Structure 1
């Protein structure tokens, strides 16, 4: 894959907004945590933009604000000890598709830097949004007894921007998704910290239909998906994405893309990342809305206490538009799956759902007329707790048709309920290669390690299976052809 553009765009920093520093106090911006500074901050941004660009510098203190709009060649610089605080009043925020604290729309050379904090005060803000909805002041679908995600303020919403940088800042407590980069180009997120468990839908980072994005040396702890790629428009592609040396914890999925997959994803590379205490999948790649996923490489990932290791899925949530998922390489990966709930004790835990079922295997699942194609797993080790019992939910390998297809369902590793394998379940796929894959089951499990159903041209050697129950068949295949399977 070609990631040259992703690397070259980093050179933009030397040409960006270094013209002049402006202290926040120059514009009558108060750091007392009580004065609403929205108009003063916006005036400062507009002034700096009109005078050739520069940095608006916030020193130690707490700066209360509603929505502000970042302009070209302007940097918000938060010194250590500076906190940009979101207002608790829902009417202090603008809504341009999304509600946000910091907007940037069709701007260039914009940045947020420094060791300070942006704190959305999201829990109380979200509750205040609920109050104005219930009073009839704001209309909202109010599904699941909560406001729609777009009605709650994200911390950052950048749309159509070029040459964007976030560096070393901490983003805390959004009322919705934390940060969105929508149809942006040349985005650098470096050394940032996301600590957002204040409310529902707290995705750590959302990259939507953007081109040439790097996320490096960052820490993400979120109550929803950690690093999430989306494609909202059929005419757009999310491409040339590079993620390196990040640590992720999530009460949903750690690395996920494709829940919104109307366009496509291509040329994605993720290396040397860590995942822990994550409720759903360490890796979830999904093409379920008519778009495509292609040319994805995930290398050197370690995941501990994670509810599921790998989930690849093609679906058809838009009638008549089947997804496409191909050319995926997963290498040098080690995952430890627990017997218990991986995010137990965290605020806003993932829901207990699709029960009863035993611990789910990793899965690669397409559709009968849309096969997952060309997936390679090399040097992959997954350790499972075992202990699966047929008394919980028996789906014997002789009755694979009991596993539902669910083409229109929301994609997630637990969507099929009980699966007939403890290690890997592969259905409706072709050109699958396992090279030095190690599957370990710590306790006896009534299921075989691997089940292949409607799989064409698969090579599962070398593969090493450790299972306390050596008497049962390790790999079971049905309706498949062109298989090379490991011996016992």
Structure 2
């Protein structure tokens, strides 16, 4: 009799295997052979769980109670990858566990292949990553060229291409090999409550790569994406924290809101650019903080032919910015990212930046600049209060070759080079002739209620404008330097007869 019951029980076990998962919509990776011991390779087990979940119509693939080692996994439509609090999805330290993947869509350099990613999705719908757990990219274990478009040898953590209805919620993404998150041509994307902790060379008071080689670990890249909501995120990244890009002259970023985020970076904090081929429009950034950041706090630019318009930035607090607080640039580098692509003519207009407060801002000076024949247009700065270090305090940034900038204060660049084709960043002109704002090649520029101050000795005026058609200044309050006779210097400023004397 006992043996008979054992046979029946065994038959029932086989007959009902998998039914609890289908009933509840949860596919536990442990049921597919995964082990959370941090040593066993679980790529096949996790992928099988995802495939079965997808085939059944969707649900949750569940990781819990352990460290699950894996190589590249492919997320599929209607699947949520859920990493429970305390659990870790741990990237393999072997670069061969991250294969190249053929794609229908061109990558960064135009090739139809994607290199080295931990979690990848293409043409997927209704996908998500959630939970209070951690996804660890093991970036410290990889080497590779810093600026290689393919990032050979350094895997990204997330790379989603041409996906719709995507949600990333609450997880921690840490220690990536290159870009932490790369969303390309995605639509209806929600990123909420996540933490990015992927910053080599964490000490902002040292030079950028003083302790370790950089890995170009952007915290979040939104590339030609539309209908995006980013909120409540904490991002500490080795390169740009939140960055919008466009790689295709026929695509762009549109209908995007970024709110309630706290960011810190070894490059720029909140940035549109530098890859700027298509368009950027109807974008709002608000209620956020940028601190301990090496290049720019807020930077808006188009240098590869993109049209950039209707950008609204408000209620931003910045602190300890080694570069500059606000950088707006229209240039003509005209780099293509698609083979045989047409280069558009860059346009930058209809920008509103208001309610920005900042302190401990580096001594370069903020800038709003176009190029000869292509002015920036309809730029309004309102309620801006900034305190700068002063021109005699050493500059601690880095140039594009990652060499230290001269720490002794050089003579101010009285004649600012155009640098039409240069890589755009706040330090590109060196120490500007204004400690507050330098404006050149602009039309319809409005400055309302700006309060500008400095701490150390200053040898420059607060404001310099050159080749500006229609400049309005209302309620400027700026600390004057005893070493210069003017608070403002205006050169070739036209159609601005009512410029008041500053307070």
- Please give the per-residue CA displacement for 1:235-276, whole angstroms capped at 9, x wherever unaligned: 101111111100000010000112000001001001100011
**Aligned residues between the structures:** 434
Which whole-Å CA distance do the structure 2 matches of 1:177 and 1:201 have between them?
A: 6
Measured after TM superposition, the shift of residue 303 of structure 1 is: 0.5
Q: Is the 8 A contact 1:19 1:53 kept in 2?
A: no
Which whole-Å CA distance do the structure 2 matches of 1:174 and 1:241 have between them?
A: 25
Q: Is the 8 A contact 1:386 1:445 kept in 2?
A: yes
Equivalent residue, structure 2, for 1:108? 125
Which whole-Å CA distance do the structure 2 matches of 1:178 and 1:187 have between them?
A: 16
Equivalent residue, structure 1, for 2:377? 373
- Please give the per-residue CA displacement for 1:38-75, whole angstroms capped at 9, x wherever unaligned: 11111111100000110011112000000010000001
Give the TM-score normalised by the residue count of structure 1. 0.85
Which whole-Å CA distance do the structure 2 matches of 1:19 and 1:325 have between them?
A: 51
Which whole-Å CA distance do the structure 2 matches of 1:18 and 1:272 have between them?
A: 42
Q: Is the 8 A contact 2:470 2:495 kept in 1?
A: yes
Q: Is the 8 A contact 2:50 2:61 kept in 1?
A: yes
- Please give the per-residue CA displacement for 1:331-373, whole angstroms capped at 9, x wherever unaligned: 111011345xxxxxxxxxxxxxxxxxxx111100100111000
Equivalent residue, structure 2, for 1:324? 347
Q: Is the 8 A contact 2:243 2:272 kept in 1?
A: yes
Q: 3-state SS of the aligned residue for 2:250?
A: coil
Equivalent residue, structure 2, for 1:7? none
Measured after TM superposition, the shift of residue 394 of structure 1 is: 2.5
- Please give the per-residue CA displacement for 1:455-484, whole angstroms capped at 9, x wherever unaligned: 110101121112352862001011221234
Among 377, 382, 386, the residue aligned to 2:386? 382
- Please give the per-residue CA displacement for 1:414-465, whole angstroms capped at 9, x wherever unaligned: 1112311111000001100011111112233111110001111010112111
Equivalent residue, structure 2, for 1:439? 452
User: Is residue 120 of structure 1 aligned with residue 137 of structure 2?
Assistant: yes
Q: Is the 8 A contact 1:452 1:477 kept in 2?
A: yes
Q: 3-state SS of the aligned residue for 2:267?
A: coil
Q: 1:114 to 1:382 in 2, by over 3 A?
A: same
Which whole-Å CA distance do the structure 2 matches of 1:157 and 1:406 have between them?
A: 33
Which whole-Å CA distance do the structure 2 matches of 1:185 and 1:424 have between them?
A: 37
Q: Is the 8 A contact 1:294 1:328 kept in 2?
A: yes
Among 208, 231, 236, the residue aligned to 1:221? 236
Equivalent residue, structure 2, for 1:70? 75
Which one is further off, 151-160 or 241-250? 151-160
Which whole-Å CA distance do the structure 2 matches of 1:393 and 1:104 have between them?
A: 50
Q: Is the 8 A contact 1:329 1:376 kept in 2?
A: yes
Which whole-Å CA distance do the structure 1 matches of 2:484 and 2:465 have between them?
A: 19
Which whole-Å CA distance do the structure 1 matches of 2:97 and 2:278 have between them?
A: 34
Give the TM-score normalised by the residue count of structure 2. 0.83
Q: Is the 8 A contact 2:136 2:173 kept in 1?
A: yes
Equivalent residue, structure 2, for 1:61? 66
Which whole-Å CA distance do the structure 1 matches of 2:126 and 2:150 have between them?
A: 31
Query: Structure 2 matches for 1:26-425, cutoff 5 A?
Result: 26-96=31-101, 97-124=114-141, 126-127=142-143, 130=144, 142=145, 148-149=150-151, 151-198=153-200, 199-307=214-322, 308-318=324-334, 321-338=344-361, 359-388=363-392, 392-395=409-412, 400=414, 402-425=415-438
RMSD over aligned CA atoms reads: 2.0
Which one is further off, 192-201 or 291-300? 192-201
Q: Is the 8 A contact 2:459 2:481 kept in 1?
A: no
- Moved segments of 4+, more than 3 Å: 319-322, 387-392
Measured after TM superposition, the shift of residue 220 of structure 1 is: 0.3
Which whole-Å CA distance do the structure 2 matches of 1:322 and 1:69 have between them?
A: 38
